[in-house]
């Protein structure tokens, strides 16, 4: 349990960040890990200090302490996600193949994304994919500034998804 808490309590963790997302298969992808793998519990080792395996002599595995503090029940719906997405330029499509989402338009460049069921059990990672309106070359600029600190900006230049023949610059190649 947590120090100072005598009984189990609801803990709310909130993260706020700005980051550049990787482009995977022509779409930007945000992955939020929700799953923590179970701890590996090997079978009990023999009382022998070493084990013969073919021509190899291996040390016996140490006995691991049991996992303590496992809750007796887990709330079935315990994860809520809300994302304020600012693409820097018009957003064409927002989707998730891992969870049902509700995406609301809050401007040409912005979407507010929530889980459709409001809360879910954390049995798989949340993956959000979005594409920008890629009919022509576009540029987007996101800037942040605080009066006491220095600011920063992020410039995104997006090529068209399928360039037209007249948009492709002719190239000359010489093979020697």
Q: Where are the domains of the chain?
A: 23-36+72-167
For 33-62, what is the mean pLDDT? 61
For 167, the 3-state DSSP assignment is helix
* Confidence bin at 58 (pLDDT 50/70/90): low
Per the model's pLDDT, the better-predicted residue between 127 and 55 turns out to be 127
Q: Report d(CA 85, CA 131) in Å as an integer.
A: 12
What is the sign of the dihedral through the CA atoms of 66, 67, 72 and 76? negative
For 95-109, what is the mean pLDDT? 90
Taking only the tens place, the pLDDT of each residue in 106-156 is: 887 899 999 887 777 777 888 999 998 777 788 888 788 888 888 888 888
* Confidence bin at 80 (pLDDT 50/70/90): confident
By the 8 A CB rule, do 117 and 77 touch? yes
Question: Is the pTM here over 0.75, yes or no?
Answer: no
pLDDT over 80 at 158, yes or no: yes
pLDDT value, residue 105? 92
Secondary structure E strands in the chain: 23-24, 27-32, 50-53, 56-59, 82-86, 91-95, 101-105, 110-115, 126-132, 138-144, 152-158
């Amino acid at each position: 349990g947590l120090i100072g808490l005598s009984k189990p309590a609801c803990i709310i963790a909130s993260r706020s960040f700005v980051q550049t997302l990787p482009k995977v298969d022509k779409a930007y992808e945000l992955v939020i890990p929700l799953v923590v793998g179970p701890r590996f519990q090997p079978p009990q080792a023999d009382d022998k200090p070493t084990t013969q395996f073919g021509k190899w002599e291996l040390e016996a595995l140490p006995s691991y302490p049991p996992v303590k503090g496992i809750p007796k029940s887990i709330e079935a719906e315990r994860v809520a996600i809300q994302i304020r997405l600012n693409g820097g330029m018009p957003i064409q499509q927002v989707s998730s193949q891992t969870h049902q989402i509700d995406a609301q338009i809050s401007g040409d460049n912005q979407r507010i994304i929530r889980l459709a069921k409001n809360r879910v059990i954390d049995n798989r990672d949340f993956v959000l994919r979005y594409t920008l309106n890629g009919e022509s070359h576009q540029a987007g600029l996101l800037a942040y500034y605080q009066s006491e600190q220095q600011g920063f900006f992020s410039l995104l230049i997006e090529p068209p998804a399928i360039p037209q023949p007249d948009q492709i610059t002719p190239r000359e190649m010489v093979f020697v």
